[in-house]
Amino acid sequence: MHQKTDPSAPPRGPAGLRMTRRGFVAGAAALAAGLPRRAPAAVQEGGGLRAAQLTQQILPGDYPQTPLWGFNGSAPGPVLRLAQGARLRQRLSNELDQPTSVHWHGIRIDNAMDGVPDLTQAAVAPGQSFDYDFTVPDAGTFWYHSHNRSTEQVARGMFGALIVEDADVPDIDADEVLVLNDWLLQGDGTLAGDFEAPHARAHAGRIGNVVTTNAAFDYALPVRRNQRLRLRLINASNARVFALGLYGLEGWIMALDGMPLAAPRAVGDALTLGPGQRADLFVDVTADAGGEAFVYRLERDGPAAQARFVVADGSRTRRGAPAALAPNREPALAPADQSETLVMNLEGGAMGRLQTARLDGRMQSFDQLLEANQFWSFNQIVGMTDTPFADVALGQTLRVDLRNDTAWPHAIHLHGMHFNELAADGTPGPLRDTVFLNRGERRQIAFVADNPGNWLFHCHMLSHAASGMATWIRVRA
């Protein structure tokens, strides 16, 4: 057994990049040879998802395996790939000792299939099953995850990628799914077990100490110079915000949250993905043969490798900038004077100014909220109530002024529909399903309420949602 690496002194690679995830190193010989590609399991329409316990090697091989929960024996679960417009049918079988459910994040879906206990369905009890059956109308990068006791169940590994293929195959050489996540592990390889820790709830959320791509701390792929790759990035973490950059790659942002951009954008210095957000990149391998390229993340002590690409020689010549992907749709927003506009104040948390808020039908002091392990509110209302944040008619345009009056970032996710982030002059930006707000930031979003039902609207920092930042929107048919 080789000597275990000192996590306090990770080595660094080209241009200051650490060669592996925080605290661990991969063997140089393995890198030189090109690590084998870990192909995700493809589950076809008509298969099933089995929620059960498992063990998996998250840390290097001389450390213990980590007990996890997942789908079909792995975490992340199987990559589900379907054609645009296809029908997805998956029977969820629950072999856990907790109720669970599956939310299909970013999919415009029939409300009964959205997977939110106590809002769209009952949680699936241990030993029971539930049949999810719906069509996938939009091409793009989406994902699925548990939506019961999400802080715990997602932290344990209950998530996976859902890829809806474009009708027209783009000009790329490879299509790679990169699920970004972090794990809060103890020295024996087990997960830290306090999923309701007040400190995490009141601050940034549950932040892991081991960062992975597709559950590998040293994720690497063999590539060839001048290849064009489609990288489907999914932030599946509980709370970690990824600020990402490229080294040895030239890249363009093609889609955000599964929705194609009108024109590709250069990646630039950093791409920020909050929890729940996704980005599709096209990247050209520009590093020399025999070298390495990276998707890296920015951290306080410098850049760290998130995914590594071991470069071999190739016969391709460089291509020009890619053409935009075919759009899915672009709902026509009504003018502001013909829309309803609501304000959503994001309040609370450590170092916040929230003094009182309504919990369980009565106003309570912040000290009382703290005793209940609840720290956040939307418009001074803590958690779900019988009254929706908004009650709108089908086809109506709703505008929401989001105001982050807290000391922490938040990623606000709308189920069942997509919205436009609006520029200061009111110009609609790209369609999204999750908007990221830094501390003190304000954003306006607008969307056409084009999907009837009761839709969850919550912070995707899952500890924040569990401790107050959750509400819902009713769209009347």
Mean pLDDT of 6-18: 39
- The first and second tokens of residue 255, run together, are 């889609």
DSSP one-letter code for 396: -
State the pLDDT confidence band at 329, using cuts at 50, 70 and 90.
confident
Q: So what's the pLDDT on residue 46?
A: 56
What is the length of the chain? 477
pLDDT at 36 > cutoff 70: no
Point out which residues pair with 293 in neighbouring strands.
309
pLDDT at 268 > cutoff 80: yes
- Torsion angle, alpha carbons of 443, 448, 454, 458, to 10: -20
Query: What CATH class does 42-165 carry?
Result: mainly beta
- The whole-angstrom distance between residue 307's C-alpha and the CA centroid of its chain comes to 17
CATH number of the structural domain 171-312: 2.60.40.420
125-174 pLDDT, tens digit per residue, is: 999 999 999 999 999 999 999 999 999 999 999 999 999 999 999 999 99
Q: So what's the pLDDT on residue 270?
A: 82
Q: In what helix (H) or strand (E) does residue 152 lie, and over which residues does it extend?
A: helix 150-155
Mean pLDDT of 45-73: 92
State the pLDDT confidence band at 17, using cuts at 50, 70 and 90.
low
Asked if 72 and 29 count as a contact pair (C-beta separation under 8 A), the reply is no
163-212 pLDDT, tens digit per residue, is: 999 999 999 999 999 999 999 999 999 999 899 999 999 999 999 999 99
Query: What CATH class does 336-476 carry?
Result: mainly beta
Give the contacts of 429 (CB within 8 A, at least 6 positions apart).
420, 421, 422, 423
Between the two ends of the chain, the Cα-to-Cα distance in Å is 64
Asked if 21 and 218 count as a contact pair (C-beta separation under 8 A), the reply is yes
Place of tokens 């000597």: 3
- What is the value of pTM for the model shown? 0.92
Where exactly does CATH 2.60.40.420 map onto the chain? 42-165, 171-312, 336-476
Separation between Cα atoms, residue 253 and residue 263, nearest integer Å: 9
Separation between Cα atoms, residue 314 and residue 291, nearest integer Å: 13
Separation between Cα atoms, residue 460 and residue 456, nearest integer Å: 11
